[in-house]
Structure 1
């Protein structure tokens, strides 16, 4: 029997709102199946399970906002008996022997997260009471340890006389901004934490990508536009392959120590149409053939801009690449996204004068930058990483 919990989808995420269940009790699930859709400040995210079995019960109601780590559902192995409903404590059983079990959304695991000193009430009850102007202090709770639950608020609402004067009106709890404003605040919080906690160092390198662009032109000559490779695919693959040689840039800094990642999941920064930026992962970037990598880049960009992406894509990046593409900026000085330890940036490729075999000739140049965590690596290794990426871009047939 395992718990399916609200996942952490980034350093800036504290809670999520369940907006849809895609499975119900009794449904079989396999690893990778989508169980639910959760709304965060970054948009609607499809939450996957990585445990096969049968959905035993749902523990959170649609519309409920819960902290990261809160149990959302319980999954049992096939053939395992369903878990019985937890019994009431002796004190509660004595107080209300005939009381029906509380709804699955009103479990003590959620109530335990309430700040001390406040009236004990489930999030769903608080929201419902605020919407109807009811004061929780005047409602007798029937939930665990006397907590006010949704059905208590419903009963109080039915008992209340009609008319606004008959109720004690309380102002609803302030809500965090949503949409572009909420995302901008989430990004600001994560970046402020990054600059406050991570000792950044920065390195830049001008890479001659003429060979890459010539190779792409020849490769794309007979292809339909939808099947053509873009320079971004070469850049992603070059970054991923170079990281094999420099594992100290691929992983996470947690609890005072570095945790290298064996897998290389490069997060690709994507600008959202409504404002904001996210960097979901392309899994096993170093192992993907270029055509498949290009296909995944297109698919990911389309889904992200449509507001649909998966929890694993948000939680799994081991390093991030941000490319300004056609934005026209020569270079970018990025900020590390914690708990990652490095982020690479690429400016817009442009023709510049370049010395080749003693002659000044026009070449296509892309300015690469690296921001890295000085607790884990140093400038010497960072310079070698950028040089390795540039060398791969000069020999695109190796990608």
Structure 2
């Protein structure tokens, strides 16, 4: 009889494991739990936010039940395949076993077979438990409202659980609804030590914004010294959103754990810098005509509803240069000792976000018209700002643009994005004295820097690409004849 009872209890519990997103990632950090033991969860409800080496994503659970145990606290890095949450899928059917005191991985704790929760069965086709943005249908990822504790207690009573407390006992108040805020805002609040429940929302539909969090932190936060503050971003920029640092009063140094996106950046940059022999070439160019074209396009009815800025025309100029010099769009395959020529362009745009540098790319950018390219750039920026860029959006890039000019920098020597052969750095566009038609005149001038992999790109090819980009920006009418 005892064995039957233990088996029945074990069958009540299902485990949800850290999923594999299929992008070569092996671990993720739990940033935020949205549920606690005793909460009712529904199929498709987001239960936590995790950060992989590429992005922060929300994790939906693929079954109904009541949360029995959270295996890891917030801030823990968990390997793919480890159980992170146990759910009672048949609440009220009997006394639940006591939660495990030490939330260690199942393989290490080795519980007795009679008390071990039943492993999660394979989900049917179309219902695989995956990260948000990786193939789950809209209906399966829709978040459902969490039930209050009173409703949970009523359900338990209806399934034969212990009777409700006597009428004389005071009823526990229902917990407040979880404040509405996007994952990057929740992360900011966590970093600043701000309880979102105390923040007054000003966003649409009661959503808490970054400004709301900063406003709540103002009375207690110590101002950042001017020399460590990031410069104010320009109005038209892609990589212009940098996390603010808050330094405790009197602190002489701060130690920040290297993990998540920052850890991936460090590993990728070291691997790239010491694997591909980098060569960087520079050219200073008069972009006055390009700036005039930007102003004209902003008034063009065909460009209505999309954002037009210098980066748009720089991206288009690079795409045309690649079309004229396709050898620059390639990759070095070390194991097979081959040069892989790409007949498509996935154009990467480096973006500085609160979690670090990311490089999402526009798929098949070479096929897009100018309005389509503008729309794709706008979507890329909005997604990155919201912290919703998926690992898939950062995979498969072929060539990258990094806009260092938004920080007032003239130029730089950019490091190649791993697996790519070239990266174009765009400096600040400034009014400078320039010889134009034999006379010195004030002109809009910028400096471009092209880094490339010298194993597969010779100096001649790299120079041709950079010269073509400069020629188009100097006289954008070439877009008509070269595109």
Q: Does TM, normalized by the shorter one, top 0.5?
A: yes
Q: Which sits farther off after the overlay, 129-138 or 304-313?
A: 129-138
Distance in 1, Cα, partners of 2:455 & 2:428:
30
CA offsets 1:223-271 (integer angstroms, 9 cap, x no match): 7996441111111111112111222322322323321211101101111
- Secondary structure of 1:132's partner? coil
**Partners in 2 of 1:138 and 1:287 — Cα distance?**
54
> For the residues of structure 1 that align with 2:443 and 2:343, how far apart are their CA atoms?
36
Hey, what does 2:55 align to over in structure 1? Answer: 43
Structure 1: gaps spanning 5 or more residues: 26-36, 48-54, 56-61, 68-109, 111-122, 153-176
In structure 1, the partner of 2:347 is 266
- Aligned partner of 1:278 in structure 2 is 358
Q: Which residue of 1 aligns with 2:424?
A: 344
Aligned to 2:261: 183
Cross-structure match for 1:381: 461
Q: Which runs of 5+ in 2 are unaligned?
A: 1-18, 34-42, 63-70, 87-98, 120-254
* TM-score where L is the length of structure 2: 0.51
SS at match of 1:253: strand
Equivalent residue number for residue 234 of structure 1: 313
SS at match of 1:309: coil
How many pairs align? Answer: 286
What SS does the aligned partner of 1:267 have? strand
Q: For the residues of structure 2 that align with 1:304 and 1:350, how far apart are their CA atoms?
A: 27
Q: Does the 8 Å CA contact 1:124/1:150 hold for their aligned counterparts?
A: no
Which TM-score applies when normalising by structure 1? 0.61
Give deviations 1:276-310, integer Å, cap 9, x for gaps. 11110111222222222122211111111211123
Aligned CA-pair RMSD? 4.1
Contact kept? 1:206, 1:366, Cα under 8 Å: yes
CA distance in 2, matches of 1:192, 1:283: 26
2:83 aligned partner: 124
Specify whether residues 316 and 135 from structure 1 end up closer, same or farther in structure 2 by C-alpha distance, changes over 3 A only.
closer
1:8, 1:181 → 2: CA distance?
A: 17
Tell me, yes or no, if the aligned pair for 1:46 and 1:311 is still in contact at 8 Å.
no
Does the 8 A contact of 1:129 with 1:135 survive in 2?
no
Contact in 2 for aligned 1:6/1:16 (Cα 8 Å): no
Distance 2:315 2:387 in 1: 23
Give the structure with the larger strand fraction.
1
> How far apart, CA to CA, are the structure 2 residues paired with 1:141 and 1:251?
55
Compared CA separation, residues 351 and 135, structure 1 to 2 (3 A)? closer
Name the CA shift for 1:132/1:14 in 2 (closer, same or farther; >3 Å). Answer: closer
Please give the alpha-carbon distance, in whole angstroms, between the structure 1 residues aligned to 2:290 and 2:277.
34
Say if 2:435 is the partner of 1:329. no
Q: 1:40 to 1:150 in 2, by over 3 A?
A: farther
